[in-house]
């Protein structure tokens, strides 16, 4: 087996980082990533975090939530279903820099009037002017370099009224090997396989997140390990 080095974050690019990726190839990859996340319980981690932040919020108000790097919009559709069950008034905004991903997300969310999508660069002034109750960053933070992450987290914190929820991958040799085995059985798509492994090597150890948390003022920071090989970091305002 090739030696797996997890001592520091990899800077290898992912295929999905190419915002020109489109068509059937992108659609299939987004579907596979959506299924992986569903099978491994990733969306529930984010949804549980939202419930924690909304715990002390008055019921009769519109909850405005942004999902940064929304991909196919799967997380927002799950939140919308939960919100309907809870009789909550929700405004959900999916943001992605890939316009082709946004087209797919819009098509898959036709029956969700509470969800809208925007093609935006999150470092742009247009994005920084937006305001939300909660900013979600699900499997997106690892796409950025260390020096960009601190800037992004400060942007998210400033524009959120209640807090920020990060749901991202643990950088781990065990996670890498188990994902290889998982793909051999369940995933046929070469992009999803390759990017999934690269994502793990670009992921985080708990100490990485603690160091970032020390540089960002917040009422509380909660960093918890979750199955399958995830960290959920809640920055409460």
- What tens digit of pLDDT does each residue of 102-138 get? 999 999 999 999 999 999 999 999 999 999 999 999 9
Asked whether the beta carbons of 66 and 132 are under 8 A apart, the reply is yes
CATH of the domain at 59: 3.40.50.150
* pLDDT value of residue 35: 77
Q: Would 185 be classed as within a structural domain? A: yes
Q: Would 101 be classed as within a structural domain? A: yes
pLDDT band at 1 (very low <50, low <70, confident <90, very high): very low
Average pLDDT over residues 54-61: 80
* pLDDT value of residue 82: 96
Q: Would 4 be classed as within a structural domain? A: no
Q: Would 36 be classed as within a structural domain? A: yes
Q: Would 139 be classed as within a structural domain? A: yes
Q: Would 9 be classed as within a structural domain? A: no
| Distance (Å, whole) CA 213 – CA 160 | 16
Q: Would 7 be classed as within a structural domain? A: no
Containing structural domain, residue 158: 15-236
Q: Would 193 be classed as within a structural domain? A: yes
Q: Which two tokens stand for residue 115?
A: 């969800």
Q: What is the pLDDT of the chain when averaged over all its residues?
A: 90
Asked whether the beta carbons of 72 and 38 are under 8 A apart, the reply is no
Domain count, the chain: 1
């Amino acid at each position: 087996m090739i030696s797996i080095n997890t001592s520091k974050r990899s800077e290898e690019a992912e295929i999905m980082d190419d915002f020109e990726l489109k068509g059937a190839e992108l659609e299939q990859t987004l579907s596979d990533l959506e299924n992986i996340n569903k099978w491994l319980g990733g969306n529930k981690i984010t949804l549980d975090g939202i419930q924690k932040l909304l715990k002390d919020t008055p019921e009769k108000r519109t909850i405005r939530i942004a999902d940064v790097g929304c991909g196919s919009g799967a997380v927002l559709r799950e939140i919308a279903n939960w919100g309907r069950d809870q009789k909550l008034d929700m405004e959900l905004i999916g943001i992605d820099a890939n316009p082709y991903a946004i087209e797919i997300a819009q098509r898959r969310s036709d029956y969700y009037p509470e969800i809208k999508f925007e093609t935006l660069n999150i470092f742009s002034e247009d994005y920084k002017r937006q305001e939300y109750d909660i900013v979600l960053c699900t499997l997106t933070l690892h796409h950025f370099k260390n020096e960009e992450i601190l800037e992004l987290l400060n942007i998210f914190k400033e524009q959120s009224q209640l807090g920020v929820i990060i749901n991202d991958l643990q950088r781990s040799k065990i996670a890498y090997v188990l994902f290889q085995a998982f793909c051999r059985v369940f995933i046929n798509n070469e992009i999803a396989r390759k990017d999934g492994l690269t994502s793990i090597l670009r992921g985080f150890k708990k100490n990485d997140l603690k160091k970032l948390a020390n540089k960002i003022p917040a009422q509380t920071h909660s960093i918890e390990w979750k199955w399958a090989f995830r960290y959920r970091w809640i920055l409460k305002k």
